[in-house]
Each structure stands twice: as C-alpha cells, then as structure tokens.
Structure 1
Amino acid sequence: MKERALALAGLLQSAEAVTRLATGEPVRNDIVENCVSSIFRLDAPSTEAIFGKAENLRRGMELLAAQAAGNVSTQAVHLRIALTVLQVERRLIARPDLLQRLQQGIIDAEPAGNQFGLTSEELHARLGELYAQTISTLTPRVLVQGDPGLLSQSRVVMSIRTLLLAAVRSAVLWRQLGGSYWDFFLRRGKIAHAARTWLREIDH
C-alpha cells in the first residue's frame, strides 16, 4: 500500500492544481513542474522515481491523509476530479489504439519540455491538445468548474488539460500497482496510514 499511496498522492496533487487553476487560486510552480515531469517518466526504475522523490508529493500526501481519514469537506471538488480520472483511466486501458497514440504524443512533446520548460505555454499547448485528441474522447468526461473568465482562456485550458494528463499518469500507475477504483474507498484506513508514514519520512 505504501507504493500505491504515492500514485494516489500524485493523482490528488494534480487534481488540486487543476481546481486552483480553474478558480484563479495560486499554484506553486514546483508543484506544476512535479506533476508535468511525471508524464514523461514512462520507464522509471521505481515508483518513487516517477515523481522524482517522495518529497515532491508532500501536498498530495497531505490531501490523501486528510481524505482517507474522512476529512473531505474542503476537498470535494478535486476529489470528484480524481475519482472521475480513475474511471476514465479504465476506459483508456481498454483502448490500446488511444493508449499508443497518447504514449507517442508524450514522446514527441518531450523536446518542447526540454527547450521551453515544464511550465511553459508551448509545452502545455502540445500536451493539452494531445489530451483533447485522446482522453477527452472517452467517457465519463472530466468536468472542471471554475471562473468562466479563466476557463475561456486557451492558455488556462491547456494547462488544466496538461495537469489532467498528469492525473491520468498517476491513475495508470495506481492500476499497475494493483489498485482499483473501489480500493480508494474500501481501504481508506490503510491508505491513510501509508500517507502518514510517507509524511513522517519526508519530515525526517
């Protein structure tokens, strides 16, 4: 469960960043960088290496520990996004044609990340369009609510889609580690314990 907690933390961290962008709340650049960098680590040597290091998921671990303990009142929006992403990921895995297209698109976009940076408008435009052409064609659609003025801006929409792609990456990892949609609910105690364990290790 400890490795699975990393995947769920990555999922929640990306989902919260999405809701912050959509509502105009500040999002730390390092969190965006950590989310986006995980998209490109398709063949990492370990679960932790997908996210660079566990410390990069501190915010996600805090969210996971709170959610698993039942403290969801302030997290309802991004929790809904995370759960929808878990459903979408199951549909994606059933479509090897889309999955192959997605993987190739990620490989093709990586040079833009190296050239312009992980938070750049150029990279997010490419990844956002890739998301629209692949994952957005699946159901259920991931619906993001927020400030209509912000959600009418192409730059914001592309960044949101890029972060949703990062969320899908974490959902894929969760499944690869043996997690299921219902485990998110049925194993809350073990998930919370794993998240708190990670937070203690990060703090020491």
Structure 2
Amino acid sequence: MSHNADRNFYERTMAFAGILQALTQVQYLARHGSSDVDALGASLNTIIVTEPDNVSDIYPNKTELNKGYQLIQNQLGDGSQKDVEITRYLVGILALERKLARSSDGLAILSERINQVQRQLHHFAITDEQVVTNLASIYSDVISNLGPKIQISGNPTCLQQAMVAEKIRALLLAAMRSAVLWRQLGGKRRHLVFARKAIIDMAKQSQQQN
C-alpha cells in the first residue's frame, strides 16, 4: 500500500469505529435507559465537526475511539464477541446512508439543520437536553423517512422515556455521520466481508498507537 492508501485505510477504519461507538450506545441506552456523558458527547460532537482539516479532528477523544476499535475486533473477529443486534443496526444505518447519498435535498437540508445546531452550541453543551432534542429531530425529519426504520430492541420502560428516545435518535444521527464519512473514504459493505482481517489488523494497530 502506498502511504496515501495506508492513510486512507487508517481514516476509514477510524470512521467505522465511529459508527460502532454510536450504535453500541444506542443499544446500551435502549436496555438501561442511561448513558455515559463522555461517550455521548464524543459521538454527538462528530455530527457538528463539518469542516475538519483531517479525519482525526472528528474523533479527538482517544478513549472513546479505542472502544470503537475494540468493537471492530469484536464484531468482525471470529470469536464469540459478535453482537447480532449491533450488526442489524449497522446494516440499517448503511442502507439509510445509501438513500441519503442519492437525495440531494436530504443532504442540503441536513447541512442547514446541522448549522443551526452549531449556533446553539454558543450557549449550550452538546449533551444538553435542548441540543440532543434538536439533533434527534434532524434524524426524525431528514433520515428516518428515507427508508425502512431501524427497529430498536431493548427494555420497553426505558424506550418509553422521551429523553432516552431522543438520545437514541441523536446517536443514530451520529452513526449516520460516520457512515457518510466511511463511504466518502471508500468504505463498501463487501469490505466488511472480504477485507475483515485487514480491518481488524488496522483497528488493533490504531488502538495501540492511541
């Protein structure tokens, strides 16, 4: 691999870690009704970094990124760590991303709505309920209607709490942000089958460097 191809693969693996990081929080929230504020903040921040100088600027939180790299190893590895539910969410997000990519209106509206949230951040933290609610409504208005809805499994009592539902939608938007980036960097679904070992090796290597 040339240096550029290597760099691209490193960044693509980082974006894939970002998708899994967001989805694993969706799963945890749906089951337990609570979330880790640092993890939530790290995932939601990826949505609003829209003009980074490089991909690392989107994922500055190394602790959370390392969890993402571990999730890649669990999900794509041969061990018993695979989580079918996370795989289902992943397939759903990647399918919606394809629909979004073909919708010029969708992309324009998305970018306009994210700009509005960026302005809100002058006054509020990214994990503030008002900001989370706005990010959730972007997911509902722009992404959710593009294709089959992702069915979230979990504890009904948790899922019925309004704020839990809002956080889940906001995190699905974060997963979508990383999925768009992953695709822009050349990610394809078939790589997850045919280039599994290379992706796992890159995740291990990246984890050790952090």
Q: Contact conserved, 1:117 with 1:123, CA < 8 A, in 2? A: yes
Q: Contact conserved, 1:48 with 1:54, CA < 8 A, in 2? A: no
Of the structure 1 ranges 3-12 and 45-54, higher mean CA displacement relative to structure 2 is found in 45-54
Moved over 4 A (4+): none
Q: Contact conserved, 2:89 with 2:150, CA < 8 A, in 1? A: yes
Note the C-alpha offset of 1:130: 1.2
Partner of 2:197: 189
Partner of 2:136: 128
Question: Is structure 2 residue 160 aligned with structure 1 residue 152?
Answer: yes
Between the aligned partners of 1:177 and 1:72, the Cα distance in structure 2 is 29
Between the aligned partners of 1:152 and 1:136, the Cα distance in structure 2 is 18
Q: Contact conserved, 1:15 with 1:79, CA < 8 A, in 2? A: no
Q: 1:59 to 1:114 in 2, by over 3 A?
A: farther
Between the aligned partners of 1:53 and 1:12, the Cα distance in structure 2 is 15
Give the counterpart of 2:67 among 59, 62, 66: 59
Question: Is structure 2 residue 30 aligned with structure 1 residue 22?
Answer: yes
1:26-51 CA distance string (max 9 Å, x none)? 53211111100000011101111111
Matched AA of 2:200: A
Q: Contact conserved, 1:38 with 1:166, CA < 8 A, in 2? A: yes
Give the counterpart of 1:71 among 79, 91, 100: 79
Q: Contact conserved, 2:15 with 2:179, CA < 8 A, in 1? A: yes
Alpha-carbon RMSD across the aligned residues, in angstroms, is: 1.5
1:61-86 CA distance string (max 9 Å, x none)? 10001222133545221222122111
**Number of positions where the alignment pairs a residue of Structure 1 with one of Structure 2:** 202
TM-score, structure 2 normalization: 0.91
Partner of 1:97: 105
Partner of 2:185: 177
TM-score, structure 1 normalization: 0.93
Q: 1:148 to 1:8 in 2, by over 3 A?
A: same
Q: Contact conserved, 1:9 with 1:61, CA < 8 A, in 2? A: yes
